[in-house]
Amino acid sequence: MARIVETPPVPDRRFDIAGYDAIDTAALETFPYEYPGRDVAVDIETDEFTAVCPWSGLPDFGTVKIRYLPGGKILELRSLKYYLLSYRNVGIYQEHAVTRMLDDLVTTVEPKWMEISLDYKIRGGIHTVCRVRYPHLENA
């Protein structure tokens, strides 16, 4: 006959998380676009984005895609990498993260147009992609 062993309940596990103030907007840099009369679409993609769930502190992993038409500035990619890395311990929902990115990048780059999508790895069998656009995304 199998013996049932009672184990003590596992305490709620939660990891420490950082607040939004850990997002390093000062890391973002630009350089002048030398052909302001000619539009060039800039596409940037990285699958190395990570933040944490504000409830559990467990990591979320995702792909960030940025597309924009520069005004007078180009986003410097090394600075973008440092900026995105600053989200690593921030407790933030996916929808809020992508919106915060758009606000920060539009403020820094001053593009004619910008779109950002954040595609999180599947959790709990649900796949979610969030997309925001400047100027405002109409009838997505």
The residues assigned a catalytic role are 53, 60
110 known ligand binder: no
The annotation status of 76 as a binding-site residue, yes or no, is: yes
Task: Report the number of secondary-structure helices (H) and strands (E) in the chain.
Answer: 2, 6
Joined together, the tokens standing for residue 48 give: 């190395």
- Residue found under tokens 């850990």: 22
95 is in an annotated binding site: yes
CA–CA separation, 112 and 91 (whole Å): 30
Amino acid at 43: D
Summarize the annotated binding site for substrate as residue ranges. Answer: 75-77, 94-95
Summarize the annotated binding site as residue ranges. Answer: 75-77, 94-95
